[in-house]
Structure 1
Amino acid sequence: MIPETAAFAYTRRAGEYTRLLGAMDATAALDRARVCAWAAELDGVVLDVGCGPGHWTGWLDGLRDAGRLPRVTSVAGVDPAVPFVAHAERQHPHLGFHHAVAEQLPFADGTIGGILAWYSLIHTAPERLDDALAEFARVLTSDGGLCIGFFTGPRIAQFEHAVTPAITWPVEALADRVERAGFAVLSTRTRHDPGARPHGDLVARLR
């Protein structure tokens, strides 16, 4: 999730981010298919961690309403940037949004069926990643699911992101950290779209 300095950076640029990237039209069709397939296997509450302006959260809820996520009961979102939470609440007033960080989620143990962390851990320093993963494991049900989208590369390295410095992860290195946090990694995927940094994602289940 976004540490305090990055949360401040996103707070300052929330309006710009929302205009440019805060709609599902700005996402890749392959990513939507990946997340939909993952969520269709979940039971209970799906939590969008680092939900930003709430576009993925609202989209998942729309899939639920359409019957495409048959066992999902509700969708919620959390984000550390107050303007994002406020925007998400305006756009989706029937959903629950919370001002929170990944390392301190406002949910009881074992109450969440699945966590989507789509590019919401990219600013988390490698030495802090385990804290977020441990918190995910705490709130998930015994067979809860996890889906992470991230920047991938040949090594763990920081780069100058458009908003604030971000991290690239080799797929194997991130999968190892997820496994060490108590998850079983079920699948990974990468691609390199023209004009973009290489993309990685993984799907896991709590062991």
Structure 2
Amino acid sequence: MTDLDVDFLHATRTSYDAIAEAYAEEFPDGLGHRVLDRALVSWFADLVKERGGGEPVADVGCGPGFVTRRLDALGLPVFGVDVSPRMVALASRAHPHLRFHVGSMTGLDLPDRSLGGLLALYSVIHVPDAELPGVVREFRRVLVPGGWLLLAFQTGRGEELHVTERFGHEVSLRYRFRDPELVAALLGDAGLEVRARVVLAPDEGARRPRAFLLARAPGPVTSAVTERTALATTDAWA
């Protein structure tokens, strides 16, 4: 792990610890008004369930746990991971029937090939460019053959925004906006099969489109339904 990685983890952790309560109040359900986002999360859940196997699913960068809760409601055996201890505490309090733990996507405390799915919504935006390939390889490491990955992030051409205040608290958060094709190439380099690229127009009042990338770890297809669905998703755009 590089010094840069340590610095970004520390800044991200302390910043989200500082704003955890205000963030959870402001976004009690971050997908509540985003119908298309919810549909894509449901699609991911269907693919994981259709694959079978029963392995758990990780919500990486879970924050206060609202997406973890949604995946649980969709029938997945899910748990949440976040770099912020305060966010994990809030998620555990709000959703006591679910499991949350502190961890970093740069080094997940999980065995190889242990997850049937991994979802990271708007959490890789804080990862420096130099560290992102390693994060993607880590995602690949923990997925079982045939396991599914769903990433979401705001798009851009390599721009970076440094935020020093949120909700009245001093923070140091760097937001990185990336080209979906470049991120898709990183997934391919890590050995993941990119099945769909979906770009959604900005919400009202927002400036940037949101990209979703759906990828699959190579491996045997375990059901005819999953095989048909996987073939149908290749190179989809919206």
Question: TM-score, normalised on structure 2?
Answer: 0.79
**Percent identity for Structure 1 against Structure 2:** 36
CA shift for structure 1 position 17: 0.7
- Equivalent position of 1:183 in the other structure: 192
- Equivalent position of 2:178 in the other structure: 169
Q: Is the 8 Å Cα contact of residues 24 and 59 (structure 1) preserved in structure 2?
A: no
CA shift for structure 1 position 27: 4.7
CA distance, structure 2, for counterparts of residue 24 and residue 193 of structure 1? 13
Q: Is the 8 Å Cα contact of residues 12 and 83 (structure 2) preserved in structure 1?
A: no
Paired amino acid for 1:37:
W
- Equivalent position of 2:58 in the other structure: 47
CA shift for structure 1 position 201: 1.0
Find out whether 1:152 has 2:162 as its counterpart.
no
- Equivalent position of 2:203 in the other structure: 193
Question: TM-score, normalised on structure 1?
Answer: 0.90
Which deviations, in whole Å up to 9, do the C-alpha atoms of 1:2-55 show, x marking residues without a partner?
A: 722112111111111111113256451110100111111114211100000000
Q: Cα RMSD between the aligned structures? A: 1.7
- Equivalent position of 1:206 in the other structure: 217
How many residues matched?
198
- Equivalent position of 2:37 in the other structure: 31
User: Which of residues 2, 15, 24 is equivalent to 1:18?
Assistant: 24
Specify every segment of 5 or more residues in structure 1 that has no aligned partner in the other structure, as ranges: 65-71
What secondary structure does 1:78 align onto?
strand
CA shift for structure 1 position 204: 0.4
Specify every segment of 5 or more residues in structure 2 that has no aligned partner in the other structure, as ranges: 219-238
User: Which of residues 131, 134, 137 is equivalent to 2:134?
Assistant: 131
Paired amino acid for 1:201:
F
Q: Is the 8 Å Cα contact of residues 45 and 74 (structure 2) preserved in structure 1?
A: no
CA shift for structure 1 position 93: 1.5
- Equivalent position of 2:94 in the other structure: 91
Which deviations, in whole Å up to 9, do the C-alpha atoms of 1:35-94 show, x marking residues without a partner?
A: 111111114211100000000001110111xxxxxxx4x110100101110111111222
Q: Is the 8 Å Cα contact of residues 22 and 54 (structure 1) preserved in structure 2?
A: no
Moved over 4 A (4+): 24-27
CA distance, structure 1, for counterparts of residue 186 and residue 16 of structure 2? 26
Paired amino acid for 1:140:
L
Q: Quickly say closer, same or farther: Cα 1:79–1:160, change in 2 above 3 A.
A: same
